[in-house]
Amino acid sequence: MNKRFLILPTFVIFLINSVSAHCPLCTIGAGVAGAGAVWLGVSKVVVALFIGAFAMSMGFWFSNIIKKRYVPFQKTLIVIVVFATTVFPLMPIFSAVGPLYLSFVGDYGTTYAVNYSLGSTLLGGIVILSSPSISRSLTRIRKGKMIPFQGMIITFLTLIITGSIIQILI
């Protein structure tokens, strides 16, 4: 691989005056991790799943920083903005477009081009949204007892299982 290809982006970063993302370091770090995973052979759709989970977690984290409520649905808006400003700049790295065949549309069916990565990113966000309720259900089943780091374990296991299923299917 040409070394200039790796060195040039490093110097270009220092020439940027402003960044539109919520956290340039986090976004670049997630992008580098995603690019490294793709380079190692992980499906781009699986990388998108983890980027979506990361973006949703960052959104919740940022929404809890501001304690005073300034606008209605403030926390939801912050989560959406952080999710979007993390995911959309990284889409060129892990974008995977493929066919979606719908046999019931038209006489012979219709095929649409679908961005699998965008759907997987949203699925990663849904996993993060559903993990607390799964954790509460497990605590209720165990009669109020929690496993140490239960929320993190459930989140990571759910992401790993979902990512493994996607990796095998695609």
- Based on the structure, what is the number of domains in the chain? 1
User: Is 9's pLDDT higher than 60?
Assistant: no
User: Is 104's pLDDT higher than 90?
Assistant: no
Domain range spanning residue 46? 21-169
Q: What pLDDT was estimated at residue 66?
A: 84
User: Six-digit token pair at 72?
Assistant: 């209605």
Q: What pLDDT was estimated at residue 17?
A: 54
132-138 own/partner pairs: CB under 8 Å, 24+ apart: 134/158
Tell me if 145 is assigned to some domain.
yes
Q: What pLDDT was estimated at residue 153?
A: 85
Task: Give the residues across from 97 on adjacent strands.
Answer: 115
Tell me if 96 is assigned to some domain.
yes
User: Six-digit token pair at 93?
Assistant: 């790295």
Tell me if 2 is assigned to some domain.
no
User: Is 108's pLDDT higher than 60?
Assistant: yes
Most confident range (mean pLDDT) of 71-80, 85-94, 98-107 is 71-80
Tell me if 8 is assigned to some domain.
no
Give me the torsion for CA of 102, 103, 104, 107, rounded to 10°. 120
User: Is 63's pLDDT higher than 60?
Assistant: yes
Tell me if 11 is assigned to some domain.
no
